Amino acid sequence: MAERTISQTETDLIQRAHRVMPGGSLGNIGRDIVITEGSAGRVRDASGNEYVDYLLGSGPMLIGHAHPEVNEVVREQVAKGTTFFANNDQAILLAEELVNAVACADKVRFTSSGTEATFYALRTARAYRKRDKILKFEGGYHGMHDYALMSMSPGAPHDFPRPTPDSAGIPRAIEDEVLIAPFNDLQTARTIIERHHEELGAVIVEPFQRLLPPKPGFLQGIREVTAQHGIPLIFDEVVTGFRFAYGGAQEFYGVEPDMCSLGKVIAGGFPLAAVAGNEELMSHFDASSTETDGFLPQIGTLSGNPVAAAAGLKTLEILRREGTYERIFATGNRLKNELQRMLDEAEIPASVVGEAPLFDVFFTDQEIIDYRSTLLADKQMLARFNELLLARGVLKGDTKFYISLAHTAADVQQTLDAFAAAVDALNS
Ligand SMILES: Cc1ncc(COP(=O)(O)O)c(C=O)c1O
C-alpha cells in the first residue's frame, strides 16, 4: 500500500492553523492532519488520502459518518430553523427516548457538551446532599471543568485521596473539594468513602474507565457503599452510553447509578449532551418542585438544539434495529483478537485492553487494571504503532480504537493488513 503523501493544500492549511490557533490545533489530537470529509467508516484528509476511521470524531459517529438517514432529518430540521431557545419537538422526543432506554433516567436536562453534563451532575448531587466534596477515580476523565481536571492524568500522583490538578489556572481551593480513589481497587475506594462519607456530595465514575473494564464486583461494591451512606452515585456515560448496549454501561455491567451524564452518540455528531437521573435529584432543576435554596438554574443558549436532537433521535432509531450491537461487537472482537494474536506471535509484550466497541493496545507485559498500571506501558511504541497504521490508511485516536456499525469487511481487512505490517515494522 502507498505511504501517506501530503499535498501542498494540506501543508498550507497546517501552516495557516499554526498562525491562528495555539499549537496549530483545535486542542484535540496532536497530529498535523486536516480532515475534510467522512463517509460511513472512512475519512479523507486534505491531501486526498483515505483512512479507515477508528477515531470516529472521538466517539459520536458510532453509526458512521454522513449517514444518509441522519443527513435527511438534519436537512429537514435545518430548513425549519436551527435553534429556538424555547422547548422544541425534537428535544422532547429525544428526552423521552433517553428516559425509555437508560435505567437511572427518570428525567433529562440537555447541555451542549459532556463537560457541562458532568459539571451539572456534580452540582445537582451536591445540592441534593448539601455536602461539597466529590470523589472521583484516578485516571477518570469527565471533561474539562475544574473538578474534572483533578488526577485525570497525573505525572507524579499524590497519595490517595489527595488530588493532583491537571491544568494551570484551577483555583487552589478546588483541591480541597475533591478526593481521589484508585479505579478497580474496591477496598481502598470503600475505605476512603467510609472515612469521608459525612462530607461527600457525590461519587463520580466512568463505569468503563478510559479503556479499563471494571473488575467483577467493583461497580457493585461502589454502588453498595454509596447507597449505604446516601451519597449519589454518578456514572459518566458520555462514552459508554448507547455504545456498550442500548441502555449503556449500566445495562452492560448491570449496575444502576442515581444519575448519569450522556453525550457523543446521543447527538449523532452534533453538540448536545445530557444529565439524566432519578426524579428526586432531577427535581433540583425545577424551581416549582424544590426548596428555594435547593434550586439549580441551568440555562444554555443551544441546550436541546433541535438539529442535534433530530440527529440523535435518528441515530438511536438506527441503533435499535435488529443486529446492530451484534455487528459492532463482532467487528471489535475480531480486530481485538487478531491484534493480540499478531503481537503474541511476534513476541512483543503487549495487551489489547477494553471492550469490543472501544479498546487499544498497551505495550507492556504488566497487567493493566488501573491508571498507575497504564503508566508502565511504552507510550513511544504506541505512538509509533499509530504512525505506522496512519501510513497504511488507518486513523485512530492517540489511545483508542472506536468501532463503528459502518465498518465493512473491506475496512476490517485493510485494518488487519495494516496491523500485520505495523507489528512487523515494530519488530524489525
Ligand atoms: C467520559 C467522558 N466524560 C466527559 C467527556 C467530555 O465531553 P465533551 O468533550 O463533550 O465536553 C468526555 C469526552 O471525551 C468523556 O470521554
Q: Would you identify the CATH topology of the domain 68-319?
A: Aspartate Aminotransferase; domain 2 (3.40.640)
Residue 32 pLDDT > 90: no
Residue 184: which of 376, 354, 371 has the closest Cα?
Answer: 371
pLDDT of residue 2: 53
Confidence grade of residue 97 (pLDDT, cut at 50, 70, 90): very high
Residue 386 corresponds to which amino acid? N
3-state secondary structure of 91: helix
d(CA 109, CA 230): 23
Please identify every residue annotated as catalytic.
Answer: 141, 236, 264
pLDDT tens track for 336-392: 999 999 999 999 999 999 999 999 999 999 999 999 999 999 999 999 999 999 999
Query: Which residues belong to CATH 3.90.1150.10 in the chain?
Result: 8-66+322-427
Residue 271: which of 239, 311, 314 has the closest Cα?
Answer: 311
CA separation (Å) from 233 to 4, 89, 139, 264, 293?
Answer: 46, 31, 18, 21, 22
pLDDT tens track for 73-84: 999 999 999 999
Confidence grade of residue 102 (pLDDT, cut at 50, 70, 90): very high
Residue 51 corresponds to which amino acid? Y
CA of 239 to the centre of ligand 1 (A): 7
pLDDT tens track for 119-141: 999 999 999 999 999 999 999 99
Number of Cβ within 10 Å of residue 252's Cβ equals: 19
C-alpha gyration radius of the chain: 22
For residue 59, give the ligand 1 atom closest to its CA: 14
pLDDT tens track for 209-258: 999 999 999 999 999 999 999 999 999 999 999 999 999 999 999 999 99
**CATH class of this structure's domain 8-66+322-427:** alpha beta
CA of 95 to the centre of ligand 1 (A): 19
Residue 1 pLDDT > 70: no
Query: Residue 260: in which H helix or E strand, if any?
Result: strand 259-262
Query: Residue 117: in which H helix or E strand, if any?
Result: helix 114-129
Contacts of 2 (CB under 8 A, 6+ apart): none
d(CA 362, CA 354): 10
Query: Which residues belong to CATH 3.40.640.10 in the chain?
Result: 68-319
For residue 113, give the ligand 1 atom closest to its CA: 10
Tell me, using a 6 A CB cutoff, whether residue 112 lines ligand 1: no
Tell me, using a 6 A CB cutoff, whether residue 269 lines ligand 1: no
325-356 CB burial, b ≥16 within 10 A, e <16: bebbbebbebbbebbbebbeeeebebbbbbbb
pTM, two decimal places:
0.97
User: Listing from the earlier edge strand, what are the strands of the sheet with 394-395?
Assistant: 35-39, 42-45, 50-53, 394-395
Contacts of 231 (CB under 8 A, 6+ apart): 125, 129, 193, 197, 200, 201, 202, 203
The whole-angstrom distance between residue 118's C-alpha and the CA centroid of its chain comes to: 12
3-state secondary structure of 156: coil
